[in-house]
Structure 1
Amino acid sequence: MARNPPPHGLRERKKRRTRATLIDAAAGLFLAQGYDNTTVDQIAAAADVSPRTFSRYFPTKVSVVAAITDELDELIADAMDRLPGEMTAYDALLAASLEVFRATDGVDSPGFRRMAMLIQIMNGSTSYRASALALRHEVTNKATMHVMARRMNVPVDHRAVTLVTDVWAVIFSDSFAGLGQPGNHPIESAVICERLAATVSLFHSTWTPWAGISAADGEPPTSA
């Protein structure tokens, strides 16, 4: 007699567990041996699944890292959604990011741990930075974009939302470049928060006459 298929809810839970296992296995390998030196076959083996199973969840290894960014994006979106509506888009993004990255009573937050992992991967891999840039232009349904659209009272596909998102990606990249690499600051919660706040401050400064601004204003430290 044929066995009954498992309930829909059970199948979905198994899929989520497999997806989470693949993400964790990939992250561990990326950090241990570098993104460029990690293959899909290695990720599948570490997760105890076949490469074919991996491909059912992620088309490429860069898409695994994109899944980590999705988790981080949802944390920042949730924090931003609770902020006063009169804040500018950039100030709201900064405040939400600082809340997500900041340690509490000396304990690193889940958001910081995810961000630290992304920084280590991105700063250690030229090929990832190139593929991630291409992937970013295909993303149109991020949680922060929806929150931002509500705050700005425009559709999520409005050009203003896309523009802020792209500018913020550049601010992120500039803030964390080099962290964790030889001769630079370690990847720590306080360092991430300080550098991000300094970069946003410098960005704001570019909207005023530059002659009245010190060249050092807003500049994050570049070495330990």
Structure 2
Amino acid sequence: MSTQSPSLPPLSLTERRKRATQLEIAHAAAELFTAQGPDGTTAEAIAGRAGVALRTFYRYFRTKQDAVGPLLAVGGERWRALLAASEPGATLPKALRGAIAEALAAPDETAADGLRQARGLLRAAVDDPALRAVWYRVNQESEEKLRPVVAELAGGDARPLEVRLAAAAATDAIRIALETWAESDADVTGPGSPAELAVRCLAELMGGMRVLTRED
């Protein structure tokens, strides 16, 4: 079992700059959507808040709602890395619970602010189908990227269907937890927090999956 994140080629300077610009635009869009809603926000306003030209905005994003995609995807990237780096010998259920709890924890104000920003976006998405579509697309892409990590942790005897179900259960546990938390006034930690809800959702969703019910 690998305990390291998948090895990826280093990004070029151009690619790093591109990603940094995309995240700056994504943060600007999230701030504006949270403050005044998608209907009250234009692509021009997002570009202005991010300090880029409107043509730069449209070079990276087709619509104003698409702009938050990179920001929403960051959480998935972090949690997949945490799962891939699970301690040697950990069973898949234990690894999933640990990675989910750590990914959604709020150990400092920066992490807490990130969760609050996600809450603002999810609340804004309630009345904006295009923004919800971005959220669902990011979750679908995250689930697909999660499958090889789950397969590695599950071991060679895990069937493809089991791996797919496990990846779907883990992804949906986080999605449902964040959506439920966004509808509430619960804090970023403690009862009703994203981490607490996600671990509970995972336990409910993993049900009778053989690959998810094998314990130490």
Same fold by TM-score, threshold 0.5 exceeded? yes
Partner of residue 91 from structure 2, selected from 53, 65, 87: 87
Match runs of 1:9-20 below 5 Å: 11-12=14-15, 14-20=17-23
Partner of residue 70 from structure 1, selected from 59, 68, 73: 73
CA 1:95 to 1:15, structure 2 compared with 1: closer, same or farther past 3 Å?
same
Check whether the contact 1:65–1:118 (CA below 8 A) recurs between aligned residues: no
Check whether the contact 2:34–2:124 (CA below 8 A) recurs between aligned residues: no
Check whether the contact 1:101–1:109 (CA below 8 A) recurs between aligned residues: no
- Equivalent residue letter for 2:150: M
Tell me, in whole angstroms, the C-alpha distance in 1 between the residues paired with 2:44 and 2:161.
Answer: 40
Length-normalised TM-score, structure 1:
0.67
Check whether the contact 1:180–1:187 (CA below 8 A) recurs between aligned residues: no
3-state secondary structure, aligned to 2:69: helix
Shift, 1:121, TM fit:
0.8
Tell me, in whole angstroms, the C-alpha distance in 1 between the residues paired with 2:110 and 2:91.
Answer: 24
Higher normalized contact order (CA 8 Å, seq sep 6+, divided by chain length): 2
CA 1:75 to 1:136, structure 2 compared with 1: closer, same or farther past 3 Å?
closer
Shift, 1:52, TM fit:
1.8
Q: Which residue of structure 2 aligns with residue 97 of structure 1?
A: 100
Comparing both structures, which one devotes a greater share of its residues to helix? 2
Deviations 1:10-69 (A, max 9, x none): 655543442232122112112211234322222112123232211212223333322112
- Equivalent residue letter for 2:176: D
Partner of residue 41 from structure 1, selected from 44, 69, 94: 44
Check whether the contact 1:22–1:44 (CA below 8 A) recurs between aligned residues: yes
Q: Which residue of structure 2 aligns with residue 120 of structure 1?
A: 120
Tell me, in whole angstroms, the C-alpha distance in 1 between the residues paired with 2:13 and 2:86.
Answer: 37
Deviations 1:157-179 (A, max 9, x none): x5544433333333223323343
Q: Which residue of structure 1 aligns with residue 176 of structure 2?
A: 174
Partner of residue 195 from structure 1, selected from 194, 197, 212: 197
Check whether the contact 1:175–1:196 (CA below 8 A) recurs between aligned residues: yes
Q: Which residue of structure 1 aligns with residue 9 of structure 2?
A: none
Partner of residue 31 from structure 2, selected from 28, 31, 51: 28
Provide the aligned length of Structure 1 versus Structure 2. Answer: 189
1:59 paired with 2:69, answer: no
Deviations 1:98-149 (A, max 9, x none): 1122233xx2453x5433322321133232224432564466763x444223
Runs of 5+ consecutive residues of structure 2 not aligned to the other structure: 1-11, 210-216
